[in-house]
Amino acid sequence: MIGTIVNTATIIVGGVVGAILHRGVKEKYQKVLFNGLGLASLGIGLNAFVTHIGQSEFPVLFIISLAIGGVIGTALDIDRHFKNAVNKRSKNKQGENRLADGLAMGILLYCIGPLSMIGPVMSALQGDNTFLFTNATLDLVSSMVLASTYGIGMILAAPVLFCWQGMFYLIAKISSTAISDALVAELCITGGLLITSSGLSLLNIKDCKTLNLLPSLLIPVVWFIIKSLF
């Protein structure tokens, strides 16, 4: 799992460097960074959706995933519980709400994408860490930008990435056929829309409560498990 360890470390390093820069960033420049991150999220999310929608074997699965996942997330009120957990660690509630939004977006950017999902599989099956090292380079830059905007708290996304990639690594070790290209495509389609949702929130266009939509990523997995049984 050396590739995943390196990828996790780059997020921590980038987060620390970005947090140091954060101290000298004036409010007007922070607003510019928020807008830039919002636009970048829209571009990355829509690109992931458009790139993989043509590869989908079940074109309506992402709609079903968002519907079911959104209902589950809203019932559990993930968004409120997550923000409350973050707020407890700071006296500045408004600032920490921003951090909660930043963590949500950061986790999605780091975890959703072919490099972050296929990389651990290649590492487990072939010992090839090329995808993960490439992803680590991208995440180093992304984590610096995010931490310069949201602060040191962004390093909390690192253990999430480790668990996410570790899950793919272990599944691939147990069964080389458990993670198919079709499943990765569906996760990228749904995940791309969640990243787009984060962008809309950052730009103050629409607060979609992206965290409440996170269970949507589980629906394609459940679907493929059920499909494999018949």
pLDDT of residue 35: 84
- Tell me the residue type at 22: H
Provide the pLDDT for residue 166.
93
Residues 6+ apart with CB under 8 A from 190: 62, 65, 66, 69, 216, 217, 219, 220
Burial zone of 68 (CB within 10 Å; 0-12 exposed, 13-18 middle, 19+ buried): middle
Q: What string of DSSP letters covers 43-63?
A: HHHHHHHHHHHTT-SSTTHHH
Min mean pLDDT across 31-35, 86-90, 148-152, 221-225 is at 86-90
pLDDT-derived band of residue 9, with 50, 70 and 90 as boundaries? very high
Position 24 scores a pLDDT of 64
* pLDDT tens string 97-120: 578 888 888 898 899 877 898 889
Phi, psi of 9, deg, nearest 5: -65, -35
Alpha-carbon distances, residue 211 vs 67, 194, 217 (angstroms) = 14, 9, 11
**What token pair was written down for 64?**
């079903």
CA-based torsion, 9, 10, 13, 18: positive or negative = negative
- Sequence-distant (≥ 6) Cβ neighbours of residue 64 within 8 angstroms: 219
CA distances from 188 to 59, 108, 117 (A): 13, 10, 9
- What is the average per-residue pLDDT within 71-93? 78
